[in-house]
Amino acid sequence: MISGQHFIAGQWVGEPLPENAAFNPMQNTTLPWHFAEAGMDELALVTKEAQAAFLSYRHLPANQRADFLEQIAQELEHRRDSIVHTFVQESALAEARAQMELGRTCNQLRLFASELRHPEADCVVPAMPERQPLPRPALRLRKLPLGPVVVFAASNFPLAFSVAGGDTTAALAAGCPVIVKAHNAHPATSELAAQAIAAAAANTAMPKGVFALVHARQHAFSEALIQHPAIKAVAFTGSEQLGMHFQRLIWQRPQPIPFFGELGSQNPLFVLPGYLAQQGESFAQQLAQSVLNGCGQFCTRPALVFIPAGSTTLINLLQQYFSAAPAGAMLTPKIAAHYRHGCQELLQSHAARLLAQGQGNEEGCHTLPRLFISSLACFLTKAELQNEIFGPATVLIEYETTTQLQELALQLPGQLTATLFATEQEFAAQQALLQNLELLCGRMIFAQMPTGVEVCPAMQHGGPFPASTDSRFTAVGSRSIDRFLRPVCYQNFPE
Amino acid sequence: MISGQHFIAGQWVGEPLPENAAFNPMQNTTLPWHFAEAGMDELALVTKEAQAAFLSYRHLPANQRADFLEQIAQELEHRRDSIVHTFVQESALAEARAQMELGRTCNQLRLFASELRHPEADCVVPAMPERQPLPRPALRLRKLPLGPVVVFAASNFPLAFSVAGGDTTAALAAGCPVIVKAHNAHPATSELAAQAIAAAAANTAMPKGVFALVHARQHAFSEALIQHPAIKAVAFTGSEQLGMHFQRLIWQRPQPIPFFGELGSQNPLFVLPGYLAQQGESFAQQLAQSVLNGCGQFCTRPALVFIPAGSTTLINLLQQYFSAAPAGAMLTPKIAAHYRHGCQELLQSHAARLLAQGQGNEEGCHTLPRLFISSLACFLTKAELQNEIFGPATVLIEYETTTQLQELALQLPGQLTATLFATEQEFAAQQALLQNLELLCGRMIFAQMPTGVEVCPAMQHGGPFPASTDSRFTAVGSRSIDRFLRPVCYQNFPE
């Protein structure tokens, strides 16, 4: 059922290599699926086909693109059992999560299909031939697709931000062919999703280069792909280090193209004393759940929590939650190693103290949840505390007065989200803090955990650098299509 | 009346330097106005004040920003006589042009004011607390200003794309303080426009750092300005060479920011035989006017005209127009020298033949209009023909069949505009050409010269690179405000 091949030009091609095996992080063993490795031949073919497909795909009526997206959702649902089973083996995430993510992926596809069926009207300015001193021509503004898009799938959403996920869906909806570089952490799940897209493309008679999946463990392939002249935009979810490496390569192109990098965020929570007094218990529970869920592998999990100094009840509760939490398997050995290294660095640099850690052994992909504490004074001097630690850890930062928070908000690096936990009275009194938080993030939240990201037209998933490379666009929700469109004005055109 | 000073933090400051004189290109002499030169002290002050102003200006109600913009228009009109007189002396452009450009500048300010008074509603998604499996939070999407913006004024629109021009107006409307780097070719006109903005800011009680004008002939100041952490976006109109130099500096910032470079365009015209047979005379007249008007110093003037081989009537008519045209003074000695050099290069490389040139002598800023001719075969092999020659020249390129044009359209570099001159019947038969032209430009025109750029919501002034650095945004029209805004989502916020 898993061929291990690329999907290029409507064909499954390539020879799986024994060394490119899928991996089971829960068992710390390889899986019996092997994958091909794309090289320069695949690069030439996949870009040529995407370019060719663009010339016809971009003219398809919106309804036909909508049919295609809906068919993908249906084909994913047809494969539900095998997808969920494979997802769980490759990611160590829970089956319920796999089910929910499949649902979300299909909802996304259907949301974009529905928007395609009910498009906004073009902006039209009629001619005024008699206007003085100069006549006004008739003008119509339409949005056109940019061209072939490369999507680097996220490690942490093997469905919803991978092969048939948000980036692919938005680009296909826009009229752009998509080349997905499969994430090495879930190549089999990627192939199953690509099978669904391939079936949908065949059912709806799409051009054969409209979608491609390539496997490549060597960065050289990805580097050449994003520098290829046929590619007109790149969407990436991953580390700041790799993302900015790709960004710099794109800046070196003779013709620079948009790069949408979603690079990570600490998602600070600002907790005020009155709120804590009223809601401390439920807050502690929600925070633990938000940090520990999915082994902390969400770009919106709260990694910094600013709390009033001496919040002993809260600290005790959180210590209980974190101490009781079991070791969990992270997505890959590398992600687990980064997590452990980041935690060690916090302690070795004396940036934070360990308050609690979970139960079990850290080996292979398994890591222990950790709760740290530090002070605002320390936070302002130790750069380690501003590095994202991706995983099930959070750092409580004790502050003395809310005035300190106002100043602090202006000093933090850009974030996807910033959240204020306050009573309504405290909220009303903290306008200065709220105004500063606005400058910091793409989504401001009142008294809810940031981990839920609603897929809708009002979502903004993208914040000031380094959270994203371009805070003017969102990676989630129906407006994410704007990343792949540009306006063109038609002047004096006949009907 | 001209102090020669910078306007920083609500004060006129700096010592005019004797060597920084304004220049009269028509007379080829200096003017009796001298200007200060900004250095690192001015840089520190102007950025600090813009940052401080941002924190209050961004919260002003839209109506107050609209009042400010309308006041600027009124203050410009109060100064009409001195502005027009100074504009003509510094630019060698005609008085009628100065009058029209002042009108356009004021119209732009009032258009943005009107849009501020009738804002689009925020996108709101209401809460669904009972939704299964998860409740939906209330979400509201607003657009927030990016922060202080640097505007590099254009040489060729001393009012409409300079100190109080489109970029400044859009940024101020968005809620961003603006620092204008005055163009060295019209520093006195710049000061007069800055006086109008200063008066308007005082009348409407704006924060003192909301607007600044700096004079700097040394690039080092501009280079440091766009790399300063307080600056959050840069708008630039000018050469590809300088624009890309600034772009590369911005990419080197620790926090990259948007750079909107409008870098030039050849604005190809594609003329079909049937149209020429019917409308050849009026076409020749319009083309000559479009190329020669304002000494060809428009980013939308047609510099490449693809015509059927052997269009002798057209060629004869154009030769008459170009031969009869007088020498004209360009904006600066440097622009004039570039123009002459570009024309020489065409001839020396045998990329084109000279068909006609205007009357008079080329000296100082005065240059002669020129009409060149070449063939499609030559065009495809000579890179010189794809370099923009800014000024009153155009190159006729003879083609054999319209099928050749289809292929060609895919090979041209990105353009602001592309225009098809065809009969309605030819238009209907050229869908393949039109589809290819769509990929090439930001504005597609049917049977009208591209030089008029309507300021309205349906305008797109910005095309694929190298016409612009970001084809997803427009530099003209009400949507140009989007360059300086980013969306922020408010989740679960109390009213």
Q: List B residues 85-114 in contact with A (Cβ-Cβ < 8 A).
A: 100
Confidence band, pLDDT 50/70/90 cuts, at residue A428: very high
Asked if the Cβ–Cβ distance from A460 to B489 is below 8 Å, we say yes
Q: Is the per-residue pLDDT at A133 higher than 90?
A: no
Query: In angstroms, what CA-CA distances link A182 with A186, A235, B189?
Result: 8, 13, 57
pLDDT at residue B494, rounded to an integer: 87
Say whether B15 is catalytic.
Answer: no
pLDDT digits (tens, 9 = 90+) for A301-338: 999 999 999 999 999 999 999 999 999 999 999 999 99
Q: Beta-carbon neighbour count of residue B340 at 10 Å?
A: 17
The predicted complex's ipTM stands at 0.96
Residue B465 within a domain? no
> Inter-chain contact B465–A256, Cβ cutoff 8 Å?
yes
Do B211 and B297 lie in one domain? The reply is no
Considering the domain architecture, whether residues B309 and B396 belong to the same structural domain is answered as: yes
Co-location of B142 and B228 in the same domain: yes
Contact B102, B161 (CB under 8 A): no
Q: What is the structure's pLDDT at B350?
A: 95
Least CB–CB distance from A123: residue in B55, B258, B458 = B458
Contact A141 B460 (CB under 8 A): yes
Only one residue has tokens 């590398």, namely A334
Specify the CATH number for the domain of residue A400.
3.40.309.10
Chain A CB within 8 Å of residue B438 CB = yes
The dihedral built from the CA positions of residue B202, B207, B210 and B215, taken in this order, carries a sign that is positive
Note whether B139 contacts A459, CB cutoff 8 Å: yes
β-sheet bridge partners, residue A329: A366
Please count the residue pairs, one from chain A and one from chain B, whose beta carbons lie less than 8 angstroms apart. 156
Q: Cβ A488–B438 below 8 Å, yes or no? A: yes
Q: Is the pLDDT of residue A132 over 90?
A: no
Q: What is the pLDDT of residue A481?
A: 97
Residue A424 distance to chain B (closest CA, Å): 8
Q: Is residue B259 located within the same domain as residue B273?
A: no
Both B118 and B178 in one domain: the answer is yes
Is the distance from CB of B415 to CB of B441 less than 8 angstroms? yes
Q: Residue A142 is part of a domain; what is its CATH number?
A: 3.40.605.10
A219 and A324 fall within a common domain: no
Task: State which residue of chain A sits closest to B247, comparing Cα positions.
Answer: A251
Cβ atoms of A163 and A190 within 8 Å: the answer is yes
Nearest to A467 by CA among A287, A163, A261: A261
Q: Are residues A258 and A298 in the same domain?
A: no
Whole-model pTM? 0.96
From A106, A176, A295, A299, active-site residue: A299
* A226: in domain: yes
User: Are residues B123 and B227 both part of a single domain?
Assistant: yes
Flag whether A49 is in a domain: yes
Same domain? B109 vs B251: yes
CA-to-CA dists, residue A301 to A286, B86, B303, B364, angstroms: 11, 59, 55, 65
Is the residue at B456 inside a domain?
A: no
Q: What is the domain range of residue B442?
A: 269-446
Q: Does B167 lie in the same domain as B36?
A: yes
Asked if the model's pLDDT at residue A495 lies above 80, the reply is no
DSSP-derived letter for residue B400 is S
- Do the bridges between strand A269-271 and strand A366-367 make them parallel or antiparallel, or are there none, so unpaired? unpaired
Mean pLDDT, rounded, for A27-38: 97
Q: What is the pLDDT of residue B133?
A: 84
Nearest-angstrom CA–CA distance, A489 and A369: 54
Question: Is B463 part of a structural domain of the chain?
Answer: no
* Average pLDDT per block of 10 residues along chain B, 495 residues long: 97 97 97 98 98 97 98 98 98 97 97 96 96 93 98 97 98 98 98 98 98 97 98 96 97 95 96 97 98 96 97 98 98 96 96 97 96 96 91 98 94 96 96 95 98 95 96 95 97 90
Same domain, A356 and A254: no
Q: Quick one: B195 and B328 in the same domain? A: no
In chain A, residues with a C-beta closer than 8 Å to the C-beta of B258 are 470, 472
Q: How far B335 CA lies from chain A's nearest CA (Å)? A: 25
Instruction: Count up the domains in chain B and report the number.
Output: 2
Q: What is the reported pLDDT for B132?
A: 87
